Amino acid sequence: MSLVVAGLSHHTSDLALRERLAFPEEAVPKALMELRRDIDGAGAVILSTCNRSEIYAHHEMDPKALLAALRAFLARWHGLPDARFASALYGLSGREAVGHLFRVASSLDSLVVGEGQILGQVHDAYQVAHAEQATDKVINALFQKAFSVAKKIRDQSNIGAGKVSISSVAVDLAVSIFMDLAGKTVMVIGSGEMGELTLRSLVSRGVGHVIVANRSLENARFLAAPNDGEAIALDTIDEHLHRADIVISSTAAPGILLHADHFQRALRRRNSEPMFVIDIAVPRDIDPAVNAIDNVYLYDLDDLQEVAGRNMEARRAEVDRCLLMVDDGAEQFVKWLDSLAAEPTIKSLSAGLHAIRERELAKTLDALPGADAKTRAEIEYLTKRIVNNILQQPMTQLKHEVHRDDSGSVLQLVKRLFGLKEST
């Protein structure tokens, strides 16, 4: 029996290739059906995100043959010769495949280490496969263990502590100043991508009102509309600046747009209520001298990147400790997986001894025609206890022995000693 993963990720391929080998969400059930048709009896899960496309599979064929079958399926499904992606495709089996999934689910293999989204994506991929009846006993156990390891890492480490994107760092800093963003007004100056991302993050945290200022009033309306905001012309900022608790500036202007006197006038109209100002433009939109004004908290791109960098370094420092938890979880799972090899032999041994017990019990009871029902039941219970006690130590030791490299020879020896059939 083989447990494998075949796939590619941001570590091995560029975005263009990942797009070609991606599985759209709505196509995954059909893909699973065709995969199981091609590899009869396989248990499988397809995980497809913007950063990876992977197939986890379990089947009775040997690992090389199973990985070759998955590679052929990928080529056929996507209509792409395997030569186009062979160099980017990785194939892992056994413990390596187990450890890989545990690292993926725990966000140790992510583009941004410690991000929480991947665990939900792994869970959703498993749920789809399970609903389509594409999983088996081993795949079910594998993914349940992956969720358990990921939760342990999340609970017992700081791998997810501290935001590492510019927009999320900006939002956390805003919360540290205002505590609660509900009812606050944010003004976005310009229509840069980073400014838009930061605006979305702020809105998701409960910002009450949005003002968008742009040279083009049409562009301002385009950005403001999805957030139920208002659009203003860039040359009217001075008239509205006092209304903003949070200012995000992200224009392509060649020089400074807002000086210290703009904020001094705004503060007077605000009765010195604090303002949080994010300047993520290059070159900067806001005069650095603004930072010297009381109750104005100005952060530029360097400030935000420094915080994000410190957070990322803190996460990296946790990686080694998290990998130890992954290794421990993988060891536990592989031991369980190995023990499955002994199950047929254990069942056969148990059935054989109990068959002897039942045969001898029948002879004994026939020789005791005067025994009442209670006595007969106690004699039968006694024989069961004796056989089960005899079996306990061999079964425990046999499960332990299968973890050795020569597990096959151990099982064969047991079969020969007890006359067990090879087919069991």
Give catalytic residues, as residue numbers: 50
Shortest CA distance to 244 belongs to which of 328, 159, 181?
181
Angle, helices 166-178 vs 193-204, to 10°: value is 40
DSSP 8-state assignment for residue 227:
G
Phi/psi for 58 (5° steps) reads: -130, 130
Shortest CA distance to 75 belongs to which of 125, 19, 21, 28?
21
Residue with token string 């047929």: 344
Query: Apex CA 161: angle with CA 99 and CA 248, to 5°?
Result: 125
Burial class (CB in 10 A: 0-12, 13-18, 19+), 193: exposed
Answer for the pair 168, 213: CB distance below 8 angstroms, yes or no.
no
Phi/psi for 12 (5° steps) reads: -120, -10
Return the structure tokens found at 56. Answer: 């986890």
Burial class (CB in 10 A: 0-12, 13-18, 19+), 106: buried
> Bridge partners of 300?
279
> Bridge partners of 111?
none
Return the structure tokens found at 129. Answer: 């496969």
3-class state of residue 276 by DSSP: strand
Q: What is the DSSP string of 63-82?
A: HHHHHHHHHHHHHHHHT--G
Shortest CA distance to 36 belongs to which of 64, 59, 53, 20?
59
Answer for the pair 202, 186: CB distance below 8 angstroms, yes or no.
yes
| Cα distance between residue 311 and residue 8, in whole Å | 28
